[in-house]
Amino acid sequence: MSSPKSLHQLRAGVIGTGFIGPVHIEALHRLGVQVAGLCDVAGRVEGAAARLGIARAYGDYRELLRSPEIDVIHITAPNRYHCEMSLAALAAGKHCICEKPLAMDTRQTAQILKRARASATVFAVNYNVRFYPAVLQLRRLAARGELGDIIHVNGSYLQDWLFKETDYNWRLLPEEGGKLRAVADIGTHWMDTVSFILGARITSVFADLGTWHKTRRRPLGEVQTFSGAAEAARYAPYPVKTEDFASVLLQFSTGARGNLAVSQVAAGRKNCLRLELYGSKKSAWWCSEDPELLHFGDRDTANEAAVRGTPAFGPDAAPYIDYPAGHVEGFPDTFKMLFRSVYGAIAGAAGERLFATAEDGHHEVAVCEAILNSHRTKTWAKVPSARPGKTL
């Protein structure tokens, strides 16, 4: 539960007060980082700042960027703002943690990547799944060859929060979230995680995308979410241009093959990311809804379930584990650990930078574009490399 002393001296500014902004703030507070500023549209931001105990509220993010009291910018606004805000934060000389996907297309992400490479500050993309201890441990096991060569990787990321035609969120609109939706929002988590574990980029993809609700109905007026009883009185229909579900076949730079199923209309699946790595020595399986267990499959010995924090789990993730075995760490903890890694890097700590960089963020958007291209052409599509020959 220790934090390097210097973390307490760094001050964060958070842009966005939707679902994920407060998640960032809570994680920063756990680490003892001061959250010195909060930004959203005027009229909304003041109440949020008061509620979250943040001293200063900003109605304009450029003002936040100008503040000398802010060291690190957290961008949690909708996707369409990511590029502009990232570039501005870099121009302002701030460290930056941007939510995924990094931006709307590779034209944008290439710009960010170029500036981030030229900058002395730390730039991170918020792929938090990397920071489940089981995922960190899998990366090290794979790197040490304990699974052998990875033959194929299977898995899925399934949710049901957009199951109904009346479910509504800005991500449904291409102009807010981008041309891909399920794949960009959750599929890239899976793909980034597997690339991270394998230490290998995705080089080609084949995709089949589907839109179940070709028309959805958007609730009008005030909507009471998180309330089973209440329903909006009136709805306006609108055509849906983004995919509800997808199958994506993958080739990795190591030769490993992948198969990913993604859906946001999978009744009963809440936030279920599953990975199965089949190696030439052994297999490993993990699910984000039961994150404490790392399963291993063997031919000659028994299958295993290693509990986070035990000797059998392995020591590699120890810097990113705070609670003893059996005392479940979950989703909020991954944000704490991601920020521990980023703020550690900002504070000058030595060691591997495990968080996703601008290059990783750019690559994931490039993969998404290849997926859309493959679906349209019904053929395998290559993923262009940001810097030929450079691996993860």
The answer to whether residue 270 forms part of the interface with its own copies (CB under 8 A) is yes
CB of 280 vs its own copies, minimal distance in Å: 7
313: which DSSP letter?
A: T
The answer to whether residue 347 forms part of the interface with its own copies (CB under 8 A) is no
Beta strands in 168-297 (DSSP E): 202-210, 215-219, 235-239, 245-252, 257-263, 272-279, 283-287, 293-297
Determine which residue in the list 215, 224, 303, 391 makes contact with its own copies, applying CB under 8 A: 303
Determine which residue in the list 37, 177, 178, 309 makes contact with its own copies, applying CB under 8 A: 309
92: which DSSP letter?
A: T
Residues between 24 and 83 that touch its own copies (CB under 8 A) = 25-26, 29-30, 32, 50-53
Binding mask 210-229 for its own copies (x = CB under 8 A): x-x-------------xxx-
CB of 180 vs its own copies, minimal distance in Å: 17
- Find the part of the chain contacting its own copies (CB under 8 A) among 134-142, 146-154, 172-180, 353-361: 146-154
- Rounded CA gap, 339 and 196, in Å? 17
- Rounded CA gap, 207 and 203, in Å? 13
> Residues in contact with its own copies, total (CB under 8 A)?
96
- Find the part of the chain contacting its own copies (CB under 8 A) among 3-11, 103-111, 135-143, 174-182: 3-11
Determine which residue in the list 44, 117, 161, 231 makes contact with its own copies, applying CB under 8 A: 161
CB of 107 vs its own copies, minimal distance in Å: 28
Residues between 241 and 260 that touch its own copies (CB under 8 A) = 244-245, 247, 249, 257, 259
CB count within 10 Å of CB 344 equals 22
Determine which residue in the list 118, 120, 236, 267 makes contact with its own copies, applying CB under 8 A: 267
- Find the part of the chain contacting its own copies (CB under 8 A) among 90-98, 231-239, 309-317, 352-360: 309-317
CB of 326 vs its own copies, minimal distance in Å: 3
Determine which residue in the list 379, 384, 387, 391 makes contact with its own copies, applying CB under 8 A: 379
CB count within 10 Å of CB 232 equals 15
Determine which residue in the list 146, 176, 304, 316 makes contact with its own copies, applying CB under 8 A: 304
Cis peptide before 101 (omega within 30 of 0): yes
- Rounded CA gap, 248 and 368, in Å? 10
- Rounded CA gap, 284 and 338, in Å? 23
Determine which residue in the list 168, 278, 339, 355 makes contact with its own copies, applying CB under 8 A: 278
115 vs 281, which CB is nearer to its own copies? Answer: 281
Residues between 81 and 110 that touch its own copies (CB under 8 A) = none
Segment holding 140, helix H or strand E: helix 133-143
Between strands 245-252 and 34-39, the pairing is unpaired
Per DSSP, the residues of 7-72 read GGG-EEEEE--SSHHHHHHHHHHHHT-EEEEEE--TTTHHHHHHHHT-SEEES-HHHHHH-TT--E
CB of 112 vs its own copies, minimal distance in Å: 27
Residues between 280 and 299 that touch its own copies (CB under 8 A) = 280-283, 288-292, 296-299
Residues between 116 and 145 that touch its own copies (CB under 8 A) = none
CB count within 10 Å of CB 1 equals 6
- Rounded CA gap, 206 and 172, in Å? 23
In the structure encoding, which two tokens stand for residue 121, read together?
A: 């500050």
151 vs 392, which CB is nearer to its own copies? Answer: 151
Contacts of 106 (CB under 8 A, 6+ apart): 362, 365, 366, 369, 384
